[in-house]
Structure 1
Amino acid sequence: MMKFIKYAFSLCLFTLIAISCVEDDNLDYAEEITAPTNVTAAVSVTQDNTGTVTITPLAEGAVSYTVSFGDGSEEVSDITPGNGAEHIYEEGTYEATITAVSLNGLTTTVTQSVLVSFKAPENLVVIIDNDAAISKQVNLSATADFATMYEVYFGESTDETPVVLNLEETISYQYEEAGTYTIKVIAKSAAIETTEYSEEFVVTAILQPLTGAPVPFRAQTDVVSIYSDVYTDPDPIDYYPNWGQTTTYTQIAVDGNNMIQYGDITYQGIDFNGAALDASAMEFIHVDVWTADADFDAKMSPISAGPNETAITLELNQDQWTSFDIPLSSFTDQNPLVDFSNIIQFKFEGAPSGAGTIFIDNLYFYKESATGISGVLPLTFESGFTLDQFDGGGTSVIANPDSNGNTSSTVLELVKGAGQTWAGSKVTIPTPFDFSSSTTITAKVWSPRAGLNLLMKFEDVTPWPNTQATAEITATTTLANQWETVAFDFAGVDMAVEYYNMVLIMDNGTVGDGSVNYTIYVDDISSSPMLTFEPEYTLDQFDGGGTSVIANPDSNGNTSANVLELVKGAGQPWAGSKITVPTQFDFTAGTTITAKVWSPRAGLNLLMKFEDVTPWPNTIATAEIIATTTLVNQWETLTFDFSSVDMAVEYYNMVLIMDNGITGDGTANYTIYVDDIAQN
C-alpha cells in the first residue's frame, strides 16, 4: 500500500461527523477550537489553451474555504472540504489566496502561486533524494519554465494515481520496500503539450543506526559491564562463540560509538570463556537495541553455570534505539535456577526465531547508587536523564523557543507524528520519582492551541505487558502559543511501586501529523524531584572567559542538541571557564578524559585541569593537561591523560582554558564548542 505523506483529510472528516452528531444546544466545546492549520491548495489547469484552472483547498480543522483568484475577479466562498473553485485566467502569473474557516469562525489565509502559460513547459529539472532520517522515503521537487503544476508517478504500482506537485513544493513518499523504481514527473501548463521526465531511482532502507545509543550515566562502581564504551568490559570475552549458529557478527562505530551487529539472527551467544561474572550485588540488566525490521522482537537470556537460563522478550521499536532496564527478579521469578553470582554466558534470539538484524550497545548489570545519580561523567550538556519515544512520538531537548513566561535555556520538545493514536514520549530517570512530598505534579507547557490534552503517567522498569503504572491523568491546555502551568493529580498513586519512567502523550486517541499543531514544549515538571531539563551542574567563567550551553551549531560529526560554548575575551591571558558538579569527579573509573571539540583553527591549545572546592590561592588542583586541535571547523575528539592524578583529592571543578598565555579578543577565532566530556 502506498504511503503518501502530504495532506490529511481525517480531521476535516471528523469535524463534519461531529457537527452532524452534536445537539445544537451543546456547542460549548467550539470555544476551544483553533484556527485551521496546514492550509494549502491543489492547482490543476486544463490542457486545452483555455486557461481553465481548478483550485481545490486543503487544510486541517476547516469546515469551509474562500478562494480569491488574484486577478481582480470576484472571489468564491463557502467551498466545502473536498471541492474546488474553477476559474478562467488570462495568460500570466497570479497570486491566489485561500482562506480556511474553522467551525467557530477562526480563519487562516495563505497565498498560492498560479501560473497560466500556453507554452509547453521547458527546462524541466527534477531532484529526487532518499530521506536522510526516514527509511525508504524519497523527497521530490521539480522546476520548469512555464509549468503550472506537476503530476508525479512514484512507480510502486502499475495503476497508481499520480500525486499533484504544486509550484515551489517538495513532496515525500514512503515505499513499502526498498528497491529500484521508475519515477516519472509530468510538467503541465495550460498548453496541450506536456513535458516528461523519468528516472530509475534506487530507494534505500536505513539498515543501521544513524546515531549512537544513549550514553550511560552510572558510575563504574555500580556496574558490571558486558559490552559498553563507557565501562570496563570483561577480559576474556567472546561476542561470537561457535555455537553452530548462522547469525552474522560485526562491530561497527557510529559517531565514535561502538556497537555489535547481529545479522539474520537465529540465536547468538556471548561467552566469558570460563571466567564467570558475579552480578549478585546488582539489581538490573540494561541493554540498548536498534533494529530496522518491522514487527520484530528479540529475546535475551542470562545463563548461569549448569547451564541454567531464562529468556525475556525485548519488544523493539523500528528504526530507533530501545532501552531496557530489566530487574533481575524478572528472571529469577520465572526460573529460580539462574544464579547471578555465576553468570557464564548471554544469549540473544530472534523472536520468533530467525530473519532479523539487531544492533546492541551498553549491555551491563547495575545497581542503584545509595546517593542517587552516581558519578558525573560523561558531561553531555544534555541532562541527567534519558529520553525515548514510541509509535510515532518524537522527544528531544532543544533551546527554549519562547522565553516569555519561561526563562529556562532548554526545554523538552514533544512531537506527535503520523504513527499510532497513542504515540508519545518517555523520560527515564536514574532514581525513582518521589511522591512522598506531594502527589500533585505540575508542568510548564507551551501549546500551539488551547484544548490540547496532555496525558501523564508513571511506570516502573518492568517490560510491557507486565509494566506497573499509575493512573493516566490528563490535563488540558487553555492558552495558545504561550507558557502555562498545568497540574496532574496523582492522589491515589501506589507509593510501593518504584516509578522510573514518565510517559507523556498528547491528544491520546488522535493520530498526529508531526506538524506545528502537534508540537509542544514542556519544562519544570515539579514535585520531588524536579525535572528542569537544564544541566545538573553550574557554569562559570573568569578573567575574560565566557561559558554557556547553546544549540549545537554544527551537527555534522556530533548530533547532540546542545553543546558548551567557550569564548576567550579581551581579559587576562589565562581567561577561561569552569564547570562545577554536585558530586566529585571519580577517577577510579578511568584517568583518561576525552572531549569532542569544534575549533575554528588547527593548533588551538585547550588546557584542562580539575580543582577542589577550596578558594584560591589554597586550591588543590591536578596537573594542567593540554590537548591540541588538528582540524578546522570540524568536530574532533581530544584526549587528556590524568594518569598521575591524586585520587585522595575531591575534585568538584573542571577548568578549561584555550591558548593559555595568549590574550583573546572574543571573536570567532577565540570561540570553540565542547561536548561529550567522558572518561575512559
Structure 2
Amino acid sequence: MKKVKIAAMMAFLAVFLGCQQDDSNTAFIENAEEASVSDVLFSIADDNSGDVTITPMGSNVLSFELFFGDQDTNSVFLTNGESAQHTYAEGNYEVTVLAYNTIGQITEYKESLDVSFKAPENLTFQVIPDNNDFLTYSVQANADFATYIEVYFGEFTNEFVQISPGDIATYTYQTEGTYPITIIAYSGGAAVTQDMGTVDAFAPQELEITFDDPNEMVSFNTFGGNQTVTVVDNPDVFGNLSPKAVEWIDGSPSEVWAGAAMSLSNGINFGSGTTFSMKVWSPSAGTLFKVKIESLVDASSAVEVDVLTTTANAWEVLTYDFSGTDYAAQFATNPANNLVIFPNFGVDGGNVTYYIDNIIQGEQTLDTVLPILPIDFESSAGTFDLFGFGGSATEDAVGQVIDNPDMSGINTSTKVASLNKPMGSEVWSGVAVPLRDSYAIDFSSSTLISVDVWSPRAGIPVLFKVENAAGDAAEIEVMTTQANAWHTITYDLNNAPGFNSSIEYTQVDLFFDFGTAGMGEVFYFDNIRQ
C-alpha cells in the first residue's frame, strides 16, 4: 500500500489569500482535514468470471477517483461507501484510489489486486457414436468453472475442436482405428483440468450372441424377482445345433415385468439392420417375449417390440422388427448398448423353464438337424433332407417323408419315406438319405443293416449303398420277398465289395428295382437300423 498527500489548487489559494488579506477568514482552509483512505475492499467472484467489486473506504472524503490498473485507462468516481465493478483477466494489478477532501486536496492510495482462476471442476464427457457413419464420433463435455473446452480426437497431433461447456464436438476419422481422445477444460487463466478416453472407430459388427464361446460369455442382470438365467448344455438339438443355450427359469412369485438385461460392449448400429431374431424354446405357444433395447447412459432412451411364441416344446425363431420404432431419435446421442428380455411378459413367472439362444441382428432359420441311425422318419428323429436322383427326361425322381400309406403288419408308424420312380427313369434311379454332420455309422460291433420296405412287386432288387464326401462307397443288393406289404430286408455290409468298417460313411442310398428303368411306381421304406 502506498499513500501520497498531494497539494492541489495552491495557485488558486495564493491568489485568493492575496486579494483577501484584510477582510477574509481563511480558517476553513487552514482547518480543512486531510482526506484519508483506510482500506480498499476487493470482492472477487469465485466463478472464474474475473468479476471484482471494489469498495474504497476512508474519512474526510468528498469523493474517490478509482483507476483499475489494467488496460482500461478510464476512471470512475465514487462517493464514500459506493462500489465499482470491473472484469479482469487473470493476473496481478495495482489499483489506484484518489481521495478528494472538501477543498480539493488529494490523497493517493495504491492497493495490489491478485486475480487468479481456479481449475475447472467436475469434468465429465460422453463419447457418442454416429448411428449412420461408423467413422464419425461426437464428444459432449462439461465442467464447472470452465471458460471453454478443447477436444482432441487423436488422429492428428494438436488438432482439436473447441466448444463451450455442455456443447458437443463432432469429428469424422479418415481411417479405422483406436484413437486416444483428450478433453481439456480451461479456466480462463493458467489452471486447466483434463481427462482422457478412447474411440474405437471400426466398421460395425452386427449383433450376434451365441453363448457357445466360454471366453465371450455375456453376463445377465436379472430383475423383478426369482429369475435364474444360466448357460447350459443345449437340451434339444432339433432346430438348434448349438452346443450351449440359455436356461431361463421364470420363478414365482415374480413381477409381471421380470426379466434380465445384457450389457453390450459395442452399441447396436441400426444402420446395419432393424430386424433382430432369437431362437426360443417354450413349453407353450402364445407366450409373449418382449425385447427391449436401451442405453446404459440413459434408460429412457429405449425401444421395444413384442412377439408371441407359436410352438410348444420345440425351438422356434422369433423375429423382431424395430423399423417401426423411433430408434433414430432415441439413440441420437446415447448408444444402444443394453439388451433386455422379458419372458412371458405380463404374467407371473409360475416356475416355468424357457430356453433362448442365438440372438442376432438379422433373420435366421432353424438348423437342419439331419438324422442318425436308427432312422424312423418321425419328427423326433431329425430334419430329413432326402433327395431323389436319376429321374426321367420329363419327371424327377422324388424322395420325401410322407404319411404311412399302409399302417399295418410290422409297420404301424405314422411317417415313412418314399421314392417315386417315374416312367422311363434311369436304371440307377434312387433316393439319398444324408446323415448328421460329424456323425458316421459305427460298424465296429456289427455290419448288418435292416430296412423295412414296401414294394408293389416281390422279387425286385433293392440296392443299399453307404458313402461319404471323400468318394468312399460300398453297396449290396437284397431282393424283396413280398408285394404290397411291409417286410424287413437285411444287408450284411461285410459282403459288400470295397467295404471297410473303419471308414466313416455319412450317407445311405436306396435303389429300388435297381438295373431296370422306371415304370411309374412308388416304393416306401422305414426304420433303417443296425
> What TM-score results when the alignment is normalised by the length of structure 1?
0.24
TM-score by length of 2: 0.30
**For the pair shown, which has the larger CA radius of gyration, 1 or 2?**
2
